[in-house]
Chains A and B, each alone.
Chain A
Amino acid sequence: QVQLQESGPGLVKPSETLSLTCTVSGGSISSYYWSWIRQPAGKGLEWIGRIYTSGSTNYNPSLKSRVTMSVDTSKNQFSLKLSSVTAADTAVYYCARAIFLEGYYYGMDVWGQGTTVTVSS
């Protein structure tokens, strides 16, 4: 059974870069899309972006100028970098697996438990 685990600093200073990694266990990272989603406390979900194992990416237009995603198939990991963070970036960050089959998207079927990132000096 595939499991995802987010890791990274829980506290980031304003204007710095938030860096998170998602480790995939119990299965291969290859041939799937992988996504990042965040949720500020008491608020809704926000899609940040997705990456295919080839390295192809799509980012939320509202965050695109600050987001970089990468994948390391040798480590079964993918990563998120969000630059120039402010307090508005404080949230629980989730990684998730997105299923695409024969050109159709089947949803995000496996999620990590989420990791809380606070932006504060």
Chain B
Amino acid sequence: SYELTQPPSVSVSPGQTARITCSGDALPKQYAYWYQQKPGQAPVLVIYKDSERPSGIPERFSGSSSGTTVTLTISGVQAEDEADYYCQSADSSGTYWVFGGGTKLTFI
């Protein structure tokens, strides 16, 4: 079955830039989506189609894609950004969706 690979954790100092990667063989062909999940809450879509930002999501959230890796970048990380982040995409056929294992963003 298709898998997306994320680092379990990323640590950053407040105000710095956090980069969270997600790797998968079908990513050159399929868009990636990023969700933020805070404890006890439902996930929130923060990036769609690799790099588009939904309305209401701060500009400090951005996404990029290069080959089999997509990256969520949070510039000037704020305390409220401490959360779990999940990438989501589809297999090469586009039929089946899959989530990455999630990355916990924590402050140093």
Contact = CB atoms under 8 A, between A and B. Distances in A.
Interface of A: 35, 37, 44-47, 50, 58, 60-62, 94, 104-109, 111-114
Interface in B76-103: 86, 88, 90, 95-102
A104 B54 CA distance: 15
A44 B45 CA distance: 15
Contact of B48 (A37, A47, A61, A107): A107
Sort A-B residue pairs by CB-CB distance and give the 3 closest, nearest first: A107-B48, A111-B42, A45-B99
Candidate in B43, B44, B101 with the most chain A CB atoms within 10 angstroms: B43
Contacts of A47: 88, 96-99
A44 B99 contact: yes
Contacts of B98: 47
Contacts of B19: none
